Structure 1
Amino acid sequence: MIFQSAALLLVIVGTYALKHLHIFGERDYKVAQGLVFNMTLPCAIILSFATNKHDMKMLWIVLFGFFCCAIPLFIVFFCSHGDERNYRAFQMLNASGLNLGAFCLPVVQTFMGPSAGLPVIMMDIGNAIVATAGSLTITRTLLHMDGNFKALPLSLRLRGIARDFFGSISFDIYMLMLVFMFLHITIPQPIITLITPFANANAFCAMAMIGLMMEVPDSVKDRLELAKVIGWRAVFGVIIAVAAWFVLPFDMRIREIVVLGAFAPITIFSTKFTDSLTGNAKLAGFSLTVTAILSLIVMTILHAVLPGA
């Protein structure tokens, strides 16, 4: 297990080193983003649904994931009064939301096998309702950062929000798989065979993407704000993990998987939204990388000590 974690960490560090050796460019992370969000992650989602039984009781995990993302967003808003607006936006966007599909899914499947992916995906369906678009709308509205968005007619604002949601292939796949689950539709074997190589590449591509995004910010204030976000995420992670272990009506294996998900890092969408609202792309990328490394360490330790394996 330690070697599995080390291998994932090596991909992050290795791609970061290659970028500084000028083998990769500063914006090459966008290529990795395109591969993860449009190819490897959707295939990993489909493969997990196709190769695991779908207990309707799993829908409780969807609801749990929604609250895990939504509640911290409002808590940070109320507790961050007095800070600059841009940094409040950074805290709200990055202290809430869990990077389940692009990070937790490949890590958990590396630790516990392909069958461990389904609980992560179910949790991410609820999480994604807020993380893929809702957090941006809520943050810019509560902090009065609407700009031209507020001046648009209601119909155009709703269309823009819908585009944020359904413009994500991963979110669309989540919704489609949820429909398949309700209708008891199975994925044909030829499709499973075709997508398996792409799904198996998800772990490598996701870690490479994180390494390519990493860049240390120059500002002391930026680093202080990142420390606040790490503190918030640690507190929320513990609360979510305790709730998952003692409240969710599942066996220990599934509860362990959800506990690991509680300590997932900042979402890719949060880094994108931070860049669009504050213009601080360097802080956004560095925050993702730092929390990803911390998450990998915490998840490795938890997997070693929890009895659900």
Structure 2
Amino acid sequence: MFDVLIKSLTFILIIVIGYTLKKVDVLKKSDANVVATIIMNITLPCALLTSANGIELDATILILIAIGIISNVVMMIIGYIASIKDDAKMKGAFMINTSGYNIGNFVLPFVQSFFPGMGVVYLCSFDIGNALMGLGMTYAVADHVASGENHFDIKELFKKLFSSIPFDVYVLIFILAIFKLQIPSPILTIASTIGAGNSFLAMLMIGLMLEIKVSPLEAKNVFKILGLRMVGTIVVSLLTLFLPIPLLAKQIMIMAYCAPLSTVSAVFTRKIGYQGDMSATANSLSILVSIVCMVVLLLLFI
């Protein structure tokens, strides 16, 4: 228990450092975009390559990929139903912000520290489905709802998906798993060295991004989004307990469901035409809730 608390507090301390550096003007909130670019294009792909090297496809892996897709679809539908009386842009905003999980920048550092090996493999498997939805499909559907368009641009959808380096890495990992191939050791050595910095940068970025700023008018929707995600987390966690997968996989899935909003949720929310601070505030608050949930789950599981 002491080890769990120390490691968890270390992650929290890095978040506090990032937040403090922003408040004393050593760094700016806009610097989070630079850190995010480094993470998404360099350290996270390297961390994924290192962690998921040698993954072998089996029924559990395929089930977890399917769960990553289904959980996003279910939450997206819930978001749509919850905002059925609102205007089109609000419907799209709810669909984006009730679904999607920040796995690579939040849950992965915890799992790498406490459940290396198969724990990371299970998490990455879930994130393949989660990334497929969160980096393209959810935005495409929400944008369709928000704009009232009558058709999807499939070409644009695939362009969005494959322009994401982490998603490309997942595709590579999946292909390697199908053909039972492994990454050459020299490449793995380089990737592991670079990927080792992912946890620190991810938590520092969260600290820089952390900001609670919302109008009283939007506050109701912020708490509505968080409430829907909490209820959804409880329901899917209970259902996961009955799945025919190993206990460790169930534990990892429950941790994944407790992840904050996706890092791209605020970006996609603005892209569909919603200009308020609802998404950014919901994201920040979800991080605080997720930190508490993660520490509690680690104390229960370890």
Given the two structures, how large is their TM-score scaled by the length of structure 2? 0.92
Tell whether 2:255 aligns with 1:252: no
Correspondence list, 1:69-88, <5 A:
69-88=72-91
Correspondence list, 1:114-129, <5 A:
114-129=117-132
Correspondence list, 1:33-48, <5 A:
33-48=36-51
- 2:282 corresponds in structure 1 to 287
Give 2:49's aligned amino acid. I
- In 1, are the aligned partners of 2:142 and 2:272 still within 8 Å (CA)? no
Task: Compute the displacement of 1:222 (Å).
Answer: 2.4
1:112 paired residue among 106, 110, 115? 115
d(CA) in 1 for partners of 2:274, 2:197: 31
Deviates more, 1:281-290 or 1:206-215: 281-290
- 1:3 corresponds in structure 2 to 6
- 1:207 corresponds in structure 2 to 203
Three-state SS of the structure 2 residue aligned to 1:190 is helix
Tell whether 2:133 aligns with 1:130: yes
- 2:233 corresponds in structure 1 to 237
d(CA) in 2 for partners of 1:305, 1:212: 29
- 2:56 corresponds in structure 1 to 54
Three-state SS of the structure 2 residue aligned to 1:254 is helix
Task: Compute the displacement of 1:115 (Å).
Answer: 4.2
d(CA) in 2 for partners of 1:234, 1:169: 30
Give 1:267's aligned amino acid. S
Give 2:156's aligned amino acid. G
Give 1:275's aligned amino acid. R
Task: Compute the displacement of 1:114 (Å).
Answer: 4.8
- In 2, are the aligned partners of 1:89 and 1:277 still within 8 Å (CA)? yes
- 1:194 corresponds in structure 2 to 190
d(CA) in 1 for partners of 2:32, 2:294: 25
The runs of 5 or more residues in structure 1 that have no matched partner are: none
Give 1:134's aligned amino acid. M
Give RMSD over aligned pairs: 1.9
Task: Compute the displacement of 1:55 (Å).
Answer: 4.1
1:297 paired residue among 272, 292, 300? 292
Task: Compute the displacement of 1:88 (Å).
Answer: 2.9
Three-state SS of the structure 2 residue aligned to 1:250 is coil
Runs of 4+ in 1 over 6 A off after TM superposition: none
d(CA) in 1 for partners of 2:213, 2:173: 39
Identity level (%): 26
d(CA) in 2 for partners of 1:215, 1:291: 11
Tell whether 2:68 aligns with 1:65: yes
Three-state SS of the structure 1 residue aligned to 2:186 is helix
- 1:101 corresponds in structure 2 to 104
Task: Compute the displacement of 1:281 (Å).
Answer: 6.8
- In 2, are the aligned partners of 1:217 and 1:223 still within 8 Å (CA)? no
- In 2, are the aligned partners of 1:103 and 1:206 still within 8 Å (CA)? yes
Task: Compute the displacement of 1:218 (Å).
Answer: 3.8
1:167 paired residue among 163, 170, 174? 163
- 1:185 corresponds in structure 2 to 181
Task: Compute the displacement of 1:243 (Å).
Answer: 1.9
Three-state SS of the structure 2 residue aligned to 1:143 is helix
- In 2, are the aligned partners of 1:32 and 1:209 still within 8 Å (CA)? yes
Task: Compute the displacement of 1:15 (Å).
Answer: 0.9
